[in-house]
């Protein structure tokens, strides 16, 4: 509760709303005690006096009545009627909702049908019909406004109750022999009370506005008593000659509604955990680059060259060092594997290449990514966009969420082509069919018209691959392309990628957590842990002679087919949280060879250019 209030008041607008509303409510409460003129005494000689005249701070209306006094009394009345309507609607609506939600079945069905019928009306129409039947008057307006808001409460509270009614404590109460009435009052009501209160406080602004509206139409409060709405309605006749009589009540309604809205927004935001975590921020078109140190010199290695890359996530005061001093290069036609557990930074490394790390919260804080010698991190959006998909293409993990659900796969393919080549639609479409055939999708001519949800998982991933191939890129970065698929489909997809690589001379970066996949596809492999590369070398060498204890353990996790009954090794402990990395080797806490020396200072690479390892006690001493 205190954190809630703190959050609420950290929001300056909500605090402003609370202050304004508090002041208005206070004024309304003390109105009878203030030395004000009688609001209903007419003095036609003093009609339409301007604001700030002697004795009439806000002037007088068309009957010479003091506007300040009428305003305060009117505010009092409007607030009272609005709050009363909210209470009535809230009570009756909640009762209906609880009954429907608790009993369920037929009762629920009948009640909710009725509620749906009521909601089929434009709301004021219903209010007008009720006022028409009962006759104009403030009490009838209150009843009408409360009545049209009952469905809103009934529906909300029913939803909450349905969720609660199936819970164990309700069953327990029933088994204990409690009657329905008692269960509802003692077990259910306390649990839905907070929802009811929140719903009431967010709708009270509406209720005030709606009753004011009915009064404005002359259907609510009747002369001489006036709420804000009827003040405004009466003033309308003199709008052109004496606008102040309209402005005074109008501004007051505006202030009340706005302060309630501000407060309501504040409450909603404070209750929404996603806002606190910053999860509702939109990622920009390109990852933010904010390099602290020097940009590393170009060293002419490979077609794609990642040098000392550092990528971080800035979430509130916490900094997650997802990628730390990662250097990798990829030669034309080569397949490089990046392997590691979830959270090791392998995907973030891959996404950093084309500036696709979600930002905020992602920031690239150091290093360089060179494609054919050009630093992509200092490239502008235009040139980066031209390379995306055209020179470096991506295949992502889960093709159901990575393909657009509302576009036909053919359209998504032609779009990829037309993003880089100004070709006519027909040409692009023909090429899309070609691409689907290339990735061995049967009946490609018909499949282009399908939506992603109409395809199987394997087919969707083939579409993802076809899309990556659309512009004949030099480099494909495949981020766990087979993880979401079952084993047989997985093998097919891997074989397909391998064929495509050989046919087209593609260079592939293959991100995975599966050594089996690496062994099948990759020429070289880099092992990542805690945002760093801990070992890198030719696949055959690493598979036969792993040097880092982590690599060895990771390999032991892979079950061998036909390997008989052997205990599968799991690595004890959890991967490190990259916001709080210990000094020294990040793997030390889980490593059985670790010594004091492993826990201090920076541990550099040993070994050669072809096989290097970041470890003081390697399994194999590298030459």
What part of residues 471-530 is at the interface with other proteins (CB under 8 A)? 471
Characterize the bridge pairing of strands 304-315 and 318-330: antiparallel
Pick the binder of other proteins from 79, 356, 436, 615 (CB under 8 A): 356
DSSP 8-state assignment for residue 361: T
Please state, in angstroms and rounded to a whole number, the distance separating the CA atoms of residues 6 and 395. 44
Pick the binder of other proteins from 109, 194, 401, 595 (CB under 8 A): 401
Other C-beta atoms within 10 Å of 55: how many?
Answer: 9
> Does residue number 215 form part of the binding site for other proteins (CB under 8 A)?
no
Please state, in angstroms and rounded to a whole number, the distance separating the CA atoms of residues 572 and 518. 23
Q: Least separation, in Å, of the C-beta of 357 and other proteins? A: 9
Site string for other proteins, 526-565 (x = CB under 8 A): ----------------------------------------
Please state, in angstroms and rounded to a whole number, the distance separating the CA atoms of residues 16 and 28. 18
> Does residue number 386 form part of the binding site for other proteins (CB under 8 A)?
yes
What part of residues 9-38 is at the interface with other proteins (CB under 8 A)? 13
Pick the binder of other proteins from 130, 150, 441, 585 (CB under 8 A): 130
> Does residue number 422 form part of the binding site for other proteins (CB under 8 A)?
no
Which residues contact residue 620 at a Cβ distance below 8 angstroms, ignoring those fewer than 6 apart? 545, 546, 547
Pick the binder of other proteins from 46, 341, 375, 398 (CB under 8 A): 398
What part of residues 433-472 is at the interface with other proteins (CB under 8 A)? 451, 453, 464, 467, 470-471
Identify which of residues 228 and 622 has a Cβ nearer to other proteins in the complex: 228
Pick the binder of other proteins from 69, 203, 352, 402 (CB under 8 A): 402
Contact present, 226 and 70 (Cβ < 8 Å) = yes
* 441 class by beta-carbon count within 10 Å (0-12 exposed, 13-18 middle, 19+ buried): buried
What part of residues 154-213 is at the interface with other proteins (CB under 8 A)? 209, 212-213
Which residue, among 204, 211, 193, 196, has the nearest Cα to 86 in the 3D structure?
Answer: 204
Contact present, 389 and 358 (Cβ < 8 Å) = no
Q: Least separation, in Å, of the C-beta of 87 and other proteins? A: 22
The H or E element that residue 323 is part of is strand 318-330
Q: Least separation, in Å, of the C-beta of 21 and other proteins? A: 12
Which stretch, 37-45, 275-283, 489-497, 611-619, contacts other proteins (CB under 8 A)? 275-283
> Does residue number 404 form part of the binding site for other proteins (CB under 8 A)?
yes
> Does residue number 426 form part of the binding site for other proteins (CB under 8 A)?
no
DSSP, residue by residue, 77-139: HHHHHHHHHHHHHHHHHHHHHHHHHHH-HHHHHHHHHHHHHHHTS-HHHHHHHHHHHH-SSHH
Which residue, among 220, 217, 264, has the nearest Cα to 77 in the 3D structure?
Answer: 220
Question: Tokens 């390099």 appear where?
Answer: 291
Please state, in angstroms and rounded to a whole number, the distance separating the CA atoms of residues 48 and 619. 96
Question: What tokens does 531 get?
Answer: 């945002």
Q: Least separation, in Å, of the C-beta of 324 and other proteins? A: 23
Pick the binder of other proteins from 26, 29, 117, 197 (CB under 8 A): 117
Identify which of residues 392 and 585 has a Cβ nearer to other proteins in the complex: 392
> Does residue number 258 form part of the binding site for other proteins (CB under 8 A)?
yes
> Does residue number 48 form part of the binding site for other proteins (CB under 8 A)?
no
> Does residue number 283 form part of the binding site for other proteins (CB under 8 A)?
yes
What part of residues 326-355 is at the interface with other proteins (CB under 8 A)? 354
Identify which of residues 40 and 415 has a Cβ nearer to other proteins in the complex: 415
Spacing of C-alpha 158 from chain mean position: 26
Other C-beta atoms within 10 Å of 488: how many?
Answer: 9
> Does residue number 122 form part of the binding site for other proteins (CB under 8 A)?
yes
Pick the binder of other proteins from 88, 270, 369, 416 (CB under 8 A): 416
Pick the binder of other proteins from 51, 104, 114, 575 (CB under 8 A): 114
């Amino acid at each position: 509760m205190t954190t809630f209030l703190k959050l609420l008041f950290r929001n300056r607008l909500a605090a402003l709303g609370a202050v304004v509303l508090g002041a208005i409510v206070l004024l309304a409460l003390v109105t009878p005690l203030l030395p004000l003129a009688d609001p209903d005494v007419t003095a036609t000689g003093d009609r339409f006096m301007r604001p700030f005249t002697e004795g009439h701070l806000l002037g007088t209306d068309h009957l010479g009545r003091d506007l300040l006094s009428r305003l305060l009394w009117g505010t009092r009345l409007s607030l009272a009627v609005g709050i009363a309507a909210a209470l009535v609607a809230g009570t009756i609506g909640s009762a209906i909702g609880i009954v429907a939600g608790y009993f369920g079945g037929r009762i629920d069905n009948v009640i909710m049908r009725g509620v749906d019928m009521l909601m089929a009306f434009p709301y004021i129409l219903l209010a007008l019909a009720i006022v028409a039947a009962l006759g104009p008057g403030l009490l009838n307006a209150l009843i009408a406004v409360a009545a049209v808001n009952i469905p809103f409460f009934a529906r909300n509270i029913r939803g909450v109750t349905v969720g609660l009614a199936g819970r164990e404590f309700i069953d327990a109460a029933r088994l204990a022999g409690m009657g329905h009435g008692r269960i509802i009052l003692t077990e259910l009501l306390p649990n839905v009370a907070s929802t009811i209160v929140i719903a009431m406080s967010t709708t009270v602004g509406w209720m005030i506005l709606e009753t004011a509206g009915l009064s404005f139409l002359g259907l609510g409060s009747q002369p001489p008593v006036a709420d804000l709405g009827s003040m405004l309605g009466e003033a309308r006749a003199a709008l052109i000659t004496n606008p102040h009589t309209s402005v005074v009540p109008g501004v007051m309604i505006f202030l009340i509604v706005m302060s309630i809205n501000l407060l309501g927004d504040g409450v909603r935001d404070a209750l929404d955990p996603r806002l606190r975590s910053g999860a509702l921020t939109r990622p920009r078109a390109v990852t933010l680059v904010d390099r602290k140190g020097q940009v590393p010199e170009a060293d002419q290695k490979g077609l794609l060259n990642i040098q000392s890359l550092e990528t971080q996530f800035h979430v509130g005061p916490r900094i997650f060092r997802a990628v730390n001093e990662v250097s990798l290069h990829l030669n034309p036609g080569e397949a490089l594997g990046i392997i590691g557990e979830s959270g090791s930074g392998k995907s973030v490394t891959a996404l950093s290449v084309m500036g696709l790390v979600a930002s905020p919260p992602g920031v690239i804080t150091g290093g360089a990514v060179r494609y054919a010698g050009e630093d992509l991190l200092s490239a502008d959006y235009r040139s980066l966009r031209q390379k995306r998909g055209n020179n470096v293409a991506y295949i992502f993990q889960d093709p159901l969420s990575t393909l657009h659900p509302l576009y036909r796969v053919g359209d998504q393919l032609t779009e990829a082509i037309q993003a880089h080549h100004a070709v006519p639609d027909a040409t692009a479409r023909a090429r899309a069919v070609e691409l689907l055939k290339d990735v061995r999708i049967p009946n490609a001519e018909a499949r282009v018209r399908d939506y992603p949800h109409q395809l199987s998982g394997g087919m969707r991933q083939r579409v993802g691959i076809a899309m990556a191939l659309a512009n004949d890129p030099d480099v494909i970065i495949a981020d766990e392309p087979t993880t979401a698929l079952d084993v047989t489909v997985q093998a097919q997809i891997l074989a397909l990628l391998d064929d495509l690589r050989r046919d087209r001379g593609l260079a592939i970066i293959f991100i995975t957590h599966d050594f089996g996949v690496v062994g099948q596809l990759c020429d070289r492999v880099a092992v990542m842990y805690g945002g760093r590369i801990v070992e890198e070398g030719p696949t055959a060498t690493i598979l036969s002679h792993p040097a880092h204890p982590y690599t060895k353990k990771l390999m032991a996790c892979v079950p061998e087919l036909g390997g008989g009954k052997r205990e599968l090794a799991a690595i004890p402990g959890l991967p490190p949280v990259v916001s709080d990395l210990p000094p020294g080797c990040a793997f030390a806490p889980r490593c059985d060879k670790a010594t004091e020396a492993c826990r201090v200072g920076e541990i550099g690479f040993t070994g050669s250019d072809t096989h290097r390892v970041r470890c003081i006690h390697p399994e194999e001493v590298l030459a």
